[in-house]
């Protein structure tokens, strides 16, 4: 990127809320049902019907507002956003416009080389989703309105983001927060979390913002980063060539790795918003707000900082362990059994996550319970088994979550830490490998490894490696 310029970025994020029923009717929100079966006169937009607000949608959105330091407005208003589209039978989308439910919040991000930074949140509002047009299943376009009325929460950021990395971190924090709150599954690939990026560039030191474009249709975190970088460079190149930036909406094409403009007809934004006369103002009084705030869990950022300060974990470990609430919970259960925090972190991050990722399962379906993993770590800590044998025990535990103490007993895996026992094994090895002894004594340091290997072979890996080293050094003189 040309260093004379800086980018200005604001994100609009839509999160699909995990309610059982839709926002204004009792139809199911279940994904994958027969097309047009999750419907009723309300979400089909028949005339004369009345929407009834789903209380859960308000509670979920207020939770998000509280989690992102927003002011929760006592009163907020639903508005009609009018536009025509085949998958929007009513001809308008119910959203919030002038008086949203949450405003003026922020989310902290921690870029790799820089201090932490607050990204402002302008507003969070509630709205309904539209249906889906399906173009690839017949020669005609099919419409499935199951998604009409599925509740969404839209989070609009201030233009505070300066790089694609900050955008990524901001979005990832939103994902973590909604998952911790249990209000959205946060899956970008499946569309339950969607992001539109508004981007402009300006010369460094310039106060005024440049003309922005908006990129849509990025369905992964990686694509958000790539699309933003692409657009920043495109705008800088245009300006350098003396051209002007045209305000427009672009669609990201992940395969071509470029963005192309939407047809201007599709982006004519004249929504003629007006308050929806069918819906009363939403009132969230202090009592209700307090009630909702009681279900706020410890948030990812707080947990991350606590893992560093209380367990002395490196930033890297804390970041990975707090990525999801279930993983953080698992780790905390492990360290309720053992106080070897760093070893526990190493085991969870490398051994546990390797299996979880390979099997593509959630940590909650991981076969080894936190208690048993904690016990295994304690067996290493007190010297009952070596780290190497522990890997073997771990592999056995994976099969049926059996108790590591039992496995070690049954398979006779207890580490040999008896000095005289190790000495006598070494003595025998020295006697029958005189050629190697001479080589070692002649200065061939490498041969030392051969002796360690022999001891391990003789003890089937059970000899305490530290003792073996010490005693070998002593005896090979």
Contacted by 43, from Zn ion, ligand ADP, none: CB < 5 to 8 Å by type: Zn ion
As a whole number of angstroms, the distance between CA 398 and CA 378 comes to 18
Shortest distance in whole angstroms from residue 202 CB to ligand ADP: 8
Tokens representing residue 461 in the block? 């890996």
Among 21, 95, 96, 200, interactor with ligand ADP by CB under 6 A: 200
Closer residue to ligand ADP in complex, CB, 130/447: 130
Among 27, 150, 171, 335, interactor with Zn ion by CB under 5 A: 27
As a whole number of angstroms, the distance between CA 60 and CA 92 comes to 23
DSSP-assigned letter for residue 138: S
The answer to whether 252 and 261 are in contact (CB under 8 A) is no
Shortest distance in whole angstroms from residue 57 CB to ligand ADP: 22
As a whole number of angstroms, the distance between CA 96 and CA 102 comes to 11
Strand 5-16, strand 151-157: pairing? antiparallel
Shortest distance in whole angstroms from residue 148 CB to Zn ion: 8
Q: How far apart are the first and last CA of the chain?
A: 62
As a whole number of angstroms, the distance between CA 129 and CA 194 comes to 12
Closer residue to Zn ion in complex, CB, 25/472: 25
Closer residue to Zn ion in complex, CB, 109/145: 145
The burial class, CB within 10 Å (0-12 / 13-18 / 19+), for 123 is buried
Among 23, 25, 156, 171, interactor with Zn ion by CB under 5 A: 25
Neighbours of 32 (CB within 10 A): 6
Number of residues located near ligand ADP, criterion CB under 6 A: 14
Shortest distance in whole angstroms from residue 269 CB to ligand ADP: 8
As a whole number of angstroms, the distance between CA 7 and CA 451 comes to 61
Closer residue to ligand ADP in complex, CB, 13/389: 13
The answer to whether 228 and 215 are in contact (CB under 8 A) is yes
**Nearest-CB residue to ligand ADP?**
10
Q: Which stretch binds ligand ADP (CB under 6 A): 21-29, 108-116, 155-163, 316-324?
A: 155-163
Closer residue to Zn ion in complex, CB, 89/120: 89
Among 158, 229, 332, 423, interactor with ligand ADP by CB under 6 A: 158
Closer residue to ligand ADP in complex, CB, 6/129: 6
Q: State the Cα angle at 202 between 216 and 220, rounded to 5°.
A: 25
* Residue 199 within binding range of ligand ADP, rule CB under 6 A: yes
Contacted by 370, from ligand ADP, Zn ion, none: CB < 5 to 8 Å by type: none
The answer to whether 13 and 195 are in contact (CB under 8 A) is yes
Shortest distance in whole angstroms from residue 75 CB to ligand ADP: 21
Contacted by 27, from ligand ADP, Zn ion, none: CB < 5 to 8 Å by type: Zn ion
Shortest distance in whole angstroms from residue 89 CB to Zn ion: 11
Contacts with ligand ADP, 1-40, as mask; x by CB under 6 A: -------xxxxx----------------------------
* Residue 475 within binding range of Zn ion, rule CB under 5 A: no
Q: Which runs of consecutive H residues, i.e. helices, occur in 274-418?
A: 286-293, 300-311, 315-321, 325-334, 341-346, 353-359, 370-381, 387-400, 404-410
Contacted by 389, from Zn ion, ligand ADP, none: CB < 5 to 8 Å by type: none
The burial class, CB within 10 Å (0-12 / 13-18 / 19+), for 193 is buried
Contacted by 179, from ligand ADP, Zn ion, none: CB < 5 to 8 Å by type: none
Shortest distance in whole angstroms from residue 205 CB to ligand ADP: 16
Q: Which SS3 state, helix, strand or coil, does residue 117 take?
A: strand
Among 16, 73, 96, 157, interactor with ligand ADP by CB under 6 A: 157
Q: Which stretch binds Zn ion (CB under 5 A): 24-32, 339-347, 388-396, 431-439?
A: 24-32
Shortest distance in whole angstroms from residue 147 CB to ligand ADP: 23
Which of positions 211-270 make contact with ligand ADP (CB under 6 A)? 212
Distances (CA, A) of 188 to 129, 266, 297: 16, 23, 23
Which of positions 36-95 make contact with Zn ion (CB under 5 A)? 40, 42-43
Shortest distance in whole angstroms from residue 240 CB to ligand ADP: 18
Collect all residues with Cβ–Cβ distance below 8 Å to 202 and sequence separation of at least 6.
5, 6, 8, 208, 209, 210
Supply the DSSP string of 27-66, one letter for each residue.
-B--TTSSTT-S--TTTTT-TT------HHHHHHHHHHHH
* Residue 209 within binding range of ligand ADP, rule CB under 6 A: yes
Q: Which stretch binds Zn ion (CB under 5 A): 32-40, 223-231, 311-319, 375-383?
A: 32-40
As a whole number of angstroms, the distance between CA 448 and CA 433 comes to 12
Task: Please report, as ranges, the residues that interact with Zn ion according to CB under 5 A.
Answer: 25, 27, 40, 42-43
Residue numbers of the site for ligand ADP (CB under 6 A)? Answer: 8-12, 156-159, 198-200, 209, 212
């Amino acid at each position: 990127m040309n260093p004379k310029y800086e980018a200005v970025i604001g994100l609009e994020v839509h999160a699909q809320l995990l309610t059982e029923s839709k926002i204004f009717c009792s139809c199911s929100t279940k994904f994958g049902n027969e097309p047009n079966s999750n419907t009723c006169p309300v979400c089909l937009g028949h005339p004369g019907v009345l929407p009834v607000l789903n209380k859960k949608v308000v509670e979920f959105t207020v939770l998000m507002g509280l989690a992102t330091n927003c002011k929760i407005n006592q009163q907020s208003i639903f508005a009609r956003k009018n536009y025509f589209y085949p998958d929007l039978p009513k001809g308008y989308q119910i959203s919030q416009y002038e008086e949203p439910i949450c405003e003026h919040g922020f989310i902290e991000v921690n870029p790799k080389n820089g201090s932490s930074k607050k990204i402002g949140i302008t507003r969070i509002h509630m709205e309904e989703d539209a249906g889906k047009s399906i173009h690839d299943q017949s020669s005609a376009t099919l419409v499935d309105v199951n998604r009409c009325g599925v509740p969404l929460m839209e989070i609009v950021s201030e233009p505070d983001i300066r790089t694609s990395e900050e955008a990524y971190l901001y979005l990832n924090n939103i994902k973590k927060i909604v998952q911790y709150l249990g209000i959205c599954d946060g899956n970008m690939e499946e569309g339950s979390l969607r992001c539109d990026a508004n981007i402009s560039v300006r010369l460094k030191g310039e106060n005024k913002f440049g003309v922005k474009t908006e990129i849509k249709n990025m369905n992964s975190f990686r694509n958000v980063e790539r699309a933003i970088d692409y657009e920043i460079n495109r705008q800088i190149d245009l300006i350098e060539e003396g051209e002007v930036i045209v305000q427009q909406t672009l669609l990201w094409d992940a395969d071509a790795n470029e963005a192309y403009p939407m047809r201007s007809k599709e982006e004519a934004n004249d929504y003629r918003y007006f308050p929806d006369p069918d819906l009363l103002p939403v009132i969230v009084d202090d009592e209700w707000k307090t009630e909702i705030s009681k279900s706020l869990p410890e948030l990812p950022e707080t947990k991350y900082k606590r893992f560093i300060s209380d367990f002395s974990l490196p930033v890297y470990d804390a970041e990975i362990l707090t990525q999801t609430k279930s993983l953080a919970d698992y780790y905390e259960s492990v360290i309720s059994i053992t106080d070897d925090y760093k070893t526990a972190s190493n085991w969870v991050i490398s051994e546990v996550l390797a299996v979880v990722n390979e099997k593509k399962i959630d940590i909650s379906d991981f076969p080894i319970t936190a208690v048993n993993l904690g016990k295994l770590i304690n067996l290493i800590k007190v010297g009952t088994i070596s780290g190497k044998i522990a890997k073997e025990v771990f592999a056995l535990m994976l099969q049926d979550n059996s108790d590591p103490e039992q496995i070690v007993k049954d398979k006779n895996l207890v580490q040999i830490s008896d000095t005289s026992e190790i000495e006598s094994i070494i003595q025998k090895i020295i006697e029958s490998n005189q050629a190697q002894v001479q080589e070692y004594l002649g200065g061939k340091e490498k041969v030392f490894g051969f002796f360690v290997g022999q001891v391990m072979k003789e003890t089937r890996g059970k000899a305490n490696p530290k003792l073996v080293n010490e005693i070998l050094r002593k005896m090979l003189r």
